[in-house]
Structure 1
């Protein structure tokens, strides 16, 4: 298959999906998301593929959603697949977080394991993509977090309570602080971290023997793990976070201030307003 926003390759039973918008730090435009979903389904249908690897080109894994694609003021803005444009629904049903959840549940439901290899920045929507993967390996110096919870909205995908302890989930979501890949491993958010210079080599060391496991065995193991989390309410909890996104972004007191400031005074001013107090204390992003 040919794609406009990703690179896709298969070697030694490993399908590699490379987010390929390095000039935008691989920000997730609707077109990029559509390509990722299509590539995942293509890899699932290919009997020569056992494991799927997602990585990013350039200096970052993924800096988040490309909000210019969704709120850039175009008369006919680009939208993800399945977006409901009806005036009966668009303004209040959370079409954006619904679309994010629909896309990344593709990873959850895929019969084959999906592995993320994270380097550089992995923020907001990038951390959602990462956290929905079955296994995550990261560079020790990667920067992972969700700073939009400081001012914009609750997460599109409420993965925090499922990926770490309550103490860490509350700390990271309430502050919007970011942590390193090494720290993410310590708190159980990801599987392993490696020195940045060794990341590629170490990830392949992990994947080569894994790719030799029979695909049906991997599918059965993934299914039984997922079934346990489904029984604990995983999918329902993620779906239940959509209304909170809508309320926190658009209807709470102070909701929409970041968006208004960005539109009137520029994104840099809005980011300084959002992150200034944290940077002043030495916290990244």
Structure 2
């Protein structure tokens, strides 16, 4: 398969998907998302693949969604697969979060385990992609979180209650906080963290023996675990977060303030307005 936005390869029964837009910190454009989904499905169909690793090229795993690809005055903005353009639906049914959930549930439904290796940053949409993977390893010093919940919207994918305790989920989402990989491991958000200089070596140390397990055994275990979370309401809970995104992003009082400031004063000014008080208190990493 030929790709423009990712690198894909298979070695020792491990399929590696590398997000390859380093100049954009691997921001998730519709094209990049489309290729990740295609690569995931190709790996699932390949009997020479036991498990799948997702990583990022350059200085970050993924800085979030590339919002320039979706909106902002473009005559023909690029849209993810499955986007409903109908005037009856587009303005109020949350086509953007629906598309995010549709893409990353591919990981959940895949018959093979998907592992994320995180360095640099995994923010907003990048943290969604990371959190939907079955296992996450990260560098101690990487930064992960969801700052847009301070001023823009609720998450596209409401993963917080499923990945950490209620105390930590509310702290992270209400404050839009970010934490290091080391802290994320302590919170139980991710499986393990390692010193940045050891991350590649340690992740392969984790994956080599796992890749030698029988794929059907891994699949049975993944499905059994996932069905337990399904019984607890995982899928319906994620689906129910879509209307809250729509309300928070487009209909609540003050919903357009960030976008207005960014258009009028520039993105840096809008980020300062959103994050400045937290930065002043030392909470911005």
- Distance in 2 (CA, whole Å) between partners of 1:73 and 1:233 is 38
- Distance in 2 (CA, whole Å) between partners of 1:259 and 1:207 is 42
Partner of residue 159, structure 2: 159
- List per-residue Cα deviations over 1:128-186 (Å, max 9, x = no partner): 00000000000000100000000000000000000000000000000001000000000
In the TM superposition, 1:61-80 aligns within 5 A as 61-80=61-80
In the TM superposition, what is the alpha-carbon distance from 1:265 to its structure 2 partner?
A: 1.6
Partner of residue 251, structure 1: 251
- List per-residue Cα deviations over 1:170-203 (Å, max 9, x = no partner): 0000000100000000000000000000000000
Question: Equivalent residue of 1:8, what SS?
Answer: strand
Stretch deviating more after TM superposition (71-80 or 28-37):
71-80
Partner of residue 266, structure 1: 266
Partner of residue 35, structure 1: 35
Partner of residue 198, structure 1: 198
Partner of residue 210, structure 2: 210
Question: Equivalent residue of 1:236, what SS?
Answer: helix
In the TM superposition, what is the alpha-carbon distance from 1:284 to its structure 2 partner?
A: 1.4
- Distance in 2 (CA, whole Å) between partners of 1:284 and 1:211 is 38
- Distance in 1 (CA, whole Å) between partners of 2:107 and 2:31 is 17
- Distance in 1 (CA, whole Å) between partners of 2:181 and 2:264 is 35
Partner of residue 278, structure 2: 278
Matched, 1:14 2:14: yes
Partner of residue 4, structure 2: 4
Normalising by structure 1, we get a TM-score of: 0.99
In the TM superposition, what is the alpha-carbon distance from 1:73 to its structure 2 partner?
A: 1.4
In the TM superposition, what is the alpha-carbon distance from 1:71 to its structure 2 partner?
A: 1.2
Question: Equivalent residue of 1:116, what SS?
Answer: strand
- Distance in 2 (CA, whole Å) between partners of 1:222 and 1:184 is 22
Stretch deviating more after TM superposition (146-155 or 264-273):
264-273
- Distance in 2 (CA, whole Å) between partners of 1:233 and 1:254 is 31
- Distance in 2 (CA, whole Å) between partners of 1:123 and 1:284 is 12
Question: Equivalent residue of 2:44, what SS?
Answer: helix
Normalising by structure 2, we get a TM-score of: 0.99
> Could you say what the CA RMSD is over the residues aligned between the two structures, in angstroms?
0.6
Question: Equivalent residue of 2:54, what SS?
Answer: strand
Structure 2 unaligned regions, length at least 5: none
- Distance in 1 (CA, whole Å) between partners of 2:87 and 2:207 is 47
In the TM superposition, what is the alpha-carbon distance from 1:48 to its structure 2 partner?
A: 0.3
Structure 1 unaligned regions, length at least 5: none
- Distance in 2 (CA, whole Å) between partners of 1:90 and 1:264 is 26
- List per-residue Cα deviations over 1:18-71 (Å, max 9, x = no partner): 000000000000000000000000000000000000000000000000000011
Question: Equivalent residue of 1:71, what SS?
Answer: coil
Partner of residue 92, structure 2: 92
Partner of residue 128, structure 1: 128
In the TM superposition, what is the alpha-carbon distance from 1:260 to its structure 2 partner?
A: 1.5
- Distance in 2 (CA, whole Å) between partners of 1:175 and 1:34 is 31
